[in-house]
Structure 1
């Protein structure tokens, strides 16, 4: 018998010569079945993930290709709906806006219809007069029609709030321009605010409710109601929503203008001028009325120099503003009249601006040209001014301009 014939030192787990007991075979079979089950479950999970992924991809493909169904109206619309397109809006955003306003049954009705007309990508910011319950195709056709867009209000430099008479014709002021843009259609009839309604709202409503910026509030509250909003609507283009109240209309324009004024430097850029932001606005309006753009900086310097002297500004434009006249010159009676806008008699700046200032006039009001000129007169027919340091120089240039028929 060998040394281990009895199997005392042999491991039954590793000794292949020793036959497996029944219990061991059952254990091994159980292990094999468990491994098989794990592999089966794993493959099922993989198959499920692939199925979901392929389903999602197919759904995305269908959406991109426009295969699926979507809600859409059949008609050309029912009642008026004003829709605003904002700067930077893409087609999908416009579609969402139309849907939110009840114009179309689904955003996709518009995006699908827009694929046939590239002009949709060129829709400009502004307000559009649409109809509720339009088909996607009709909504696209209406959006790209130039007549659908509400015309923007163009405010030019020097424009007054109210109309003036010039050469027998009425020159529309800010209020009249806003009234013309306020129109909408209801039951087939054109409905507009009037200039008088807008003027009344401007004069009677709390300036805070009108959106007047904080830096102008004190001066606006002190001013004569008929002049208090003058100058706060600077030169520029304004989008006006039709169908709103007079107060809402004015507020939207004042708030928009306040943003433009801020970009032009009021109030932020006025700190080193020696004037309050509202006074800089007044100066800018005087510059706008008294000169052409290339002379803005020098006219601004004359204003600064005269106020520092002190010396009356002696501007005909301020008298004509109060008298609602467009003329350049004034009469002796006008210049002798005692009223707040007569800068021949009243020293300093006018109580309010005298018109809508441009960005260029504001820039000149914030940073004048420099120098010691004290006088100027229009000396060329294109509006160019000649500047002088002394009254004698000024008189000579004034007489020459008159002899040459400049004015």
Structure 2
């Protein structure tokens, strides 16, 4: 078979031979292929950029969008050893729309929270976003609750209040007072009066023993400070005596500005060797037998706490005194009053007398007001 070549495809060399022209040797494909490749790369890059933008929009929408399903008052608990996946699963189980796990992991890495979730209980609010939740978990913004020790509470009151608090773990329920004090590192110390009345903040996982430990330390500091600032001529011989007197002052009045005056009456009685004759000590000595009133037989009973029968202070505090009562006991007001009694007008205030005759007159005035009040009712 012959192949014909057109004259345009042939050329003669100088030797007279025939060769194919250079035009016939050109490859027309490469330029077109390179153009197609560049277009393909551009299309791919645009597609990737679009996908990245879509992913970013979705991610930011996830991170900052309010999560549906959070009810007012809900909380989230992070236990020791919990992973992010477990915490997110706990949210999902409570009915919260949490989205995808991968998004949580990405957001946790961005916020530096991936391995820094802090144990505790966290408050959830409607409108919170995943970013809000993770920042709270990272920063340990746990719910803080308060337990208040009321001035004038006895140890029995304090332990009953702790037992009723369901937010605290209970470690002391089966302990005696003596075992409790030993657990606190103060074996042999009487617990009455040793816990400072104020509000103590605690978080999930804290126990009643944690609160008691902090309250005991706070009272030790407050008593030391009051004793260091005591009056130079104080009749008290030790910080323990100051604590005992402060507890009596605390139980005698709830009127703050009267505490130094009442402490002054007791201080003068102690100096003169007079009996304190204060009802709160008698009541404390009666314990559970006290039914709301003191009978004549109670006043005549000889007990370590019946200050109508004993001279000086009772052997232990009778309640938890506040800081004001501690300061009053160590810096009592001056004067010459040796008696006081309630005014009886509902104010909680007292009238102070220099001697027994004045005290008797104050008593008659009190009884007159009492009878007049009963006649009008």
Q: Judging changes above 3 Å, is the alpha-carbon distance between structure 1 residues 193 and 354 closer, same or farther for their aligned structure 2 residues?
A: same
1:270-289 matches, within 5 Å, as: 270=230, 272=232, 273-275=234-236, 276-289=238-251
Gaps spanning 5+ residues in structure 1: where? 1-71, 83-103, 112-126, 163-172, 185-191, 222-227
Decide which moves more: 336-345 or 323-332. Answer: 323-332
1:361: how far off?
1.1
1:257: how far off?
3.2
CA deviation map 1:252-280 (0-9, x unaligned): 33123323444xx2342247324211111
What is aligned with 1:176? 160
Verify the 8 A CA contact 2:351 2:362 in the aligned structure 1: yes
- Which of 179, 183, 202 is matched with 1:204 structurally? 179
Q: Judging changes above 3 Å, is the alpha-carbon distance between structure 1 residues 106 and 261 closer, same or farther for their aligned structure 2 residues?
A: farther
Q: Give TM-score, length-normalised by structure 1.
A: 0.55
- Which of 327, 334, 352 is matched with 1:370 structurally? 334
Verify the 8 A CA contact 2:162 2:208 in the aligned structure 1: no
- Which of 173, 191, 207 is matched with 1:229 structurally? 191
Verify the 8 A CA contact 1:231 1:357 in the aligned structure 2: yes
What is aligned with 1:27? none
Verify the 8 A CA contact 1:155 1:235 in the aligned structure 2: yes
- Which of 338, 350, 353 is matched with 2:314 structurally? 350
1:196: how far off?
3.8
- Which of 252, 273, 291 is matched with 1:310 structurally? 273
Partner secondary structure for residue 376 of structure 1: strand
1:364: how far off?
1.0
CA distance in 1, matches of 2:329, 2:109: 52
CA distance in 2, matches of 1:403, 1:387: 18
Q: Give TM-score, length-normalised by structure 2.
A: 0.58
1:142: how far off?
7.6
What is aligned with 2:284? 321
Partner secondary structure for residue 163 of structure 2: helix
Q: Judging changes above 3 Å, is the alpha-carbon distance between structure 1 residues 370 and 340 closer, same or farther for their aligned structure 2 residues?
A: same
CA distance in 2, matches of 1:232, 1:243: 24
- The total of aligned residue pairs comes to 260
Partner secondary structure for residue 229 of structure 2: helix
What is aligned with 2:60? none
Verify the 8 A CA contact 1:231 1:356 in the aligned structure 2: yes
Decide which moves more: 239-248 or 306-315. Answer: 239-248
1:122-137 matches, within 5 Å, as: 129-130=121-122, 137=132
CA deviation map 1:347-396 (0-9, x unaligned): 11111111111221111111111112111000142011111111111011
CA distance in 1, matches of 2:330, 2:281: 20
What is aligned with 1:153? 147
Verify the 8 A CA contact 2:143 2:203 in the aligned structure 1: no
Larger Rg: 2
Partner secondary structure for residue 152 of structure 1: strand
What is aligned with 1:396? 361
CA distance in 2, matches of 1:238, 1:365: 24
CA distance in 2, matches of 1:77, 1:376: 55
1:77: how far off?
6.7
What is aligned with 2:216? 254
Partner secondary structure for residue 334 of structure 2: coil
What is aligned with 2:52? none
What is aligned with 2:351? 386
CA deviation map 1:93-113 (0-9, x unaligned): xxxxxxxxxxx96794469xx
Verify the 8 A CA contact 1:158 1:356 in the aligned structure 2: yes
CA distance in 1, matches of 2:136, 2:284: 46
